[in-house]
């Protein structure tokens, strides 16, 4: 019985982590997200303090 409870808790934790990830990505401003990809996005995303760099840092944390 304990194995079932442990497996259930593990799945609940996984779903919770997935929802946290989705919420973290939803917070990224679409304009900043556009600055990460596309032409010149690689340059913008490495300049500290820019919205694109902040968005890229959040993406990297999610990829973790």
pLDDT in tens, 6-53: 999 999 999 998 898 888 778 877 777 666 666 666 666 677 877 778
| Number of domains within the chain | 1
C-alpha separations of 38 from 5, 9, 51 in Å: 46, 40, 15
Q: What is the mean pLDDT of residues 44-64?
A: 76
Q: What is the pLDDT of residue 39?
A: 61
- Band of residue 58 on the pLDDT scale cut at 50, 70, 90: confident
Query: Residue 63 above 70 pLDDT?
Result: yes
- Domain containing 21 equals 2-63
């Amino acid at each position: 019985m304990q194995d079932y409870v442990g497996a259930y808790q593990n799945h609940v934790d996984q779903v919770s982590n997935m929802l946290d990830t989705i919420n973290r990505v939803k917070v990224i401003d679409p304009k900043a997200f556009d600055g990460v990809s596309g032409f010149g996005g690689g340059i913008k995303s490495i300049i500290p303090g820019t919205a694109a760099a902040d968005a890229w840092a959040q993406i990297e944390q999610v990829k973790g």
